[in-house]
A and B are shown apart, each in its own frame.
Chain A
């Protein structure tokens, strides 16, 4: 099935560093969601975005709905070891009367103390 392009595929960073990842598509989206998945668990919803240009924070996490509606960004400030996991973007395409989420390929984050 279709997936969103997510980058980078993986990141290895030092504790305390900031992290940036993004999700892009050739299609326009009405909704962007960011999830985190820990090993052996289901994805957990972090942030939901519903309006172009919207900037939303959840603790140290900040996500933005791109102004073109074709991309979204997630930033994590001052990373800590428990930030380790796989981060997925997901979205619902405009012009489709559907409830179906399209998922990104994931960014695997590793944080070293």
Chain B
């Protein structure tokens, strides 16, 4: 079975540019989570969806961040405008409603904003 798929794997952009990160969850999973990982703050949950509906976005740092899930097999995390402090690794994870709390992570997108 294919795991969680993320693209791009690496993104380098200039400050002020729009960045879009993409995620395809494991087929059949009802939950999708977006995380950010930095050395200083570790793994932080940004937002999560259940059946394509955003449930908790309290971790989204600012209005510059937005996430959508237009269907069960696709989600985006957008940063507009990007800033150097947004540089981090962004992970998407998914979970089945029938597998209790076990989340499965994608390989991540390493974002560098210069």
- Where the two chains meet, the residues of A that have a C-beta atom closer than 8 Å to any C-beta of B are 1, 3, 31, 33, 35, 40-45, 48, 50, 88, 92, 98-101, 103, 105-106
B46 to A, closest residue via Cβ: A1
Contacts of B84 in A (CB 8 A): none
Contact residue among B41, B103, B108, B110 (Cβ-Cβ distance under 8 Å from A101): B103
Inter-chain contact A99/B41, CB cutoff 8 Å: no
Inter-chain contact B105/A42, CB cutoff 8 Å: yes
How many residues on chain B are close to A (CB under 8 Å)?
Answer: 26
A106 to B, closest residue via Cβ: B42
Inter-chain contact A42/B108, CB cutoff 8 Å: yes
A48 to B, closest residue via Cβ: B102
Using A31-B100, A92-B101 as known contacts, say yes or no to A41 and B55 having CB atoms under 8 A apart. no
The binding surface of chain A is classed by DSSP as loop
- B54 contacts partner chain A, Cβ-Cβ < 8 Å: no
A50 to B, closest residue via Cβ: B100
Contacts of A98 in B (CB 8 A): 56
| 9 pairs of residues in contact across A and B, judged by CB atoms under 8 Å | A43-B43, A43-B91, A45-B105, A50-B101, A92-B101, A99-B48, A100-B48, A101-B45, A103-B43
Using A33-B102, A41-B107 as known contacts, say yes or no to A99 and B43 having CB atoms under 8 A apart. no
Contacts of A106 in B (CB 8 A): 42
B101 to A, closest residue via Cβ: A31
Inter-chain contact B56/A48, CB cutoff 8 Å: no
Bound complex: CA of A44 vs CA of B45, how far in Å? Answer: 16
| CB-CB contacts below 8 Å: B15-59 with A | 31, 33, 41-45, 48, 50, 55-56, 59
Inter-chain contact A45/B104, CB cutoff 8 Å: yes
CB distance from B89 to the nearest CB of A (A): 9
CB distance from B55 to the nearest CB of A (A): 7
Using A42-B91, A98-B56, A99-B95 as known contacts, say yes or no to A1 and B45 having CB atoms under 8 A apart. yes
Bound complex: CA of A1 vs CA of B91, how far in Å? Answer: 16
Using A31-B100, A42-B105, A100-B48 as known contacts, say yes or no to A3 and B42 having CB atoms under 8 A apart. yes
Inter-chain contact A1/B59, CB cutoff 8 Å: yes
CB distance from A38 to the nearest CB of B (A): 10
Contacts of A101 in B (CB 8 A): 33, 45, 101, 103
